[in-house]
Amino acid sequence: MDLGRVFVAAVVRRPTAPAIVDGDIRRTYRQWFDDATRVAGGMAALGLDHGDHVVCLLKNRYEVTVLYWACQLLGLIYTPLNWRSTGADVAYCLEDANVRAVVYEGSSETAAHEALARHPGAIAIGIADAVQAPVTFASLITSEPLRVFKEIDEHDVCMMLYTSGTTGRPKGVPRSHRNEISAAISLIANNQYGFGEVSLGVMPMYHTMGVRVLLASALLSGIFVCMPRYDTELALRLIQDERVSALFLVPTLFHDMVVHPAIHKYARPALTNLGYAGMTMTDALSEACMKIFQPKRWINYYGSSEIFTFSFCDYLDVKPGCAGHAGFCQELRVVRADPGPDVSPDEVLAPGEVGEIIATLSSPEAFRGYWNQPAADVRAIRNGWYFTGDLGRVDDDGDLWLLGRVDDMIISGGENIHPEEVENILSRCPLVSQVAVVGVDDLRYGTKVIAFVEPTSADASHEALDDFCVASELGRFKRPRGYVFVEQVPKSGVGKILRRELKLGHYKRLSDFKHTD
């Protein structure tokens, strides 16, 4: 089965049920489908055909969801990019994927036109406040509807996500119809979502989490509440007014909610199902979420763009921060950690030992390799296993614990130190709002541990935080050797901490604090 047929099935099942909300826009499944078929018909009239890539530089708005389904009905490859991307980044992706069309809005128009100037063969399609597009979404949505849907094989590529490119250029991750349907079913099963679930569409539609929430919502005849740009108080109000029942966010956004002054201003009448993914969550934040939201289900979901589900944990009240056990149709191992390609999938470590997490590629959710990146395939894929680049260990119960990235591990004075372990301890300190730990070059230690802290109080200092670490269970050799108090820890568009930005000096020091780096 392909995603277009999945959408048709959802429409036939409950045609008059509410499907999507975006501000004043409210559509039933039938209305949503009708818009998608008209846009698909308009795109077909432009000459777009099965297998063509369509880049979308859009926020989470109604139009991007229509384009997503139109691509699936026509057999196009939905290729979303961060709407904040530079023209150079967009141009690279246009060339890499031989893109046939680019859809953009006002916020991404400059970058889109810069990229299109280098790739003039692509069709430019503008939405809403885009003013220089030869083709508009408004014209597409009044086109003659697509009447005959393409015959699509479940192994055909339906979407390509570009990784964040923490080192070098981003890598394209092709995803098949089979991959996507399997991933959505796993999300539903592992998070125990129910029929008619109301989900807040906060995670961007260029991110694996955002797309999966949209698809899972349709599978369940649920309601997808669009949020074009994240604002904490608006999110809290939408949870109340739209009776949102499920949140699937990165930890950063949960942090912003629990510390927001308006957290108790708005009711949460239907909110029962909370999940997080994308990065680890500190114990302190996990406990705060459980106390404030009191969810029936509280899930840690571990996966990637390449394989959506690695593992999940639904007993965070017992094991805060635990990544749990492998997901459906998945097998995980922890092997010797080495950034080179020489480690075998059979070099499995004993429980308690720290190594690299690898996942089987036999899962129906697994990709088959990067787009035009054979060297990346050699590094990441070996003998049917995907090497995640994540550090972890398995405890005596067989549960997985994440300890950061292989390339983030700090070797200081000959000792291995995992930044997320130190961050987890410091996050419990009442003087700390957010923290990121990195290693910097040092003549004595080789690399020394530095903590970058967003303080909650003027009382925060190196001495106070060091005393807190000494009194904790953190090994003394793992304590930060220096502290920098910053206005904001740098994060990606989806809320992940960007340690590389700290190493490059891209942060603003707070002038009223003593820094000891």
The pLDDT tens digits for 12-62 are: 999 999 999 999 999 999 999 999 999 999 999 999 999 999 999 999 999
Entry pTM: 0.87
**What is the per-residue pLDDT for 168?**
60
CA–CA separation, 400 vs 323, rounded Å? 5
pLDDT one digit per residue (tens) for the chain, 517 residues: 999 999 999 999 999 999 999 999 999 999 999 999 999 999 999 999 999 999 999 999 999 999 999 999 999 999 999 999 999 999 999 999 999 999 999 999 999 999 999 999 999 999 989 988 999 999 999 999 999 888 899 999 999 999 865 446 789 999 999 999 999 999 999 999 999 999 999 999 999 999 999 999 999 999 999 999 899 999 999 999 999 999 999 888 999 999 999 999 999 999 999 999 988 898 889 999 999 999 999 999 999 999 999 999 999 999 999 999 999 999 999 999 887 778 999 999 999 999 999 999 999 999 999 999 999 999 999 999 999 999 999 999 999 999 888 888 888 877 788 898 899 999 999 999 999 999 998 877 788 999 999 999 999 999 999 999 999 988 888 999 999 999 999 988 777 888 889 988 999 999 999 999 9
Contact predicate 105/113, CB 8 Å:
no
Which three-class secondary structure state does DSSP give residue 126?
A: strand
Question: Looking at residue 253, what is its pLDDT?
Answer: 92
pLDDT score, position 166 = 46
User: What b/e sequence results for 432-470 when a residue is b if at least 16 CB atoms lie within 10 Å of its CB, and e otherwise?
Assistant: bbbbbbbbbeeeebebbbbbbbbbeeeebbbeebbebbe
Rounded CA separation 486/199 (Å): 34
Q: Which domains does the chain have, with CATH numbers?
A: 1-177 (3.40.50.12780), 410-509 (3.30.300.30)
Parallel, antiparallel, or unpaired: how do β-strands 246-249 and 273-276 relate? parallel
CA distances from 19 to 50, 69, 215, 365, 369 (A): 27, 13, 12, 25, 34
Torsion over CA: 385, 390, 209, 67 (sign): negative
Hunting for tokens 């740098």 — which residue is that? 490
CA distances from 303 to 82, 327, 365, 453 (A): 20, 9, 10, 27
Cβ within 8 Å of residue 508, ≥6 positions away: 486, 487, 488
The answer to whether 370 touches 171, Cβ cutoff 8 Å, is: yes
Strand locations in 399-445 (E)? 400-405, 410-412, 415-417, 432-442
Residues linked to residue 190 through DSSP beta bridges, in sequence order: none
Gap between the Cα atoms of 319 and 283, Å rounded: 9
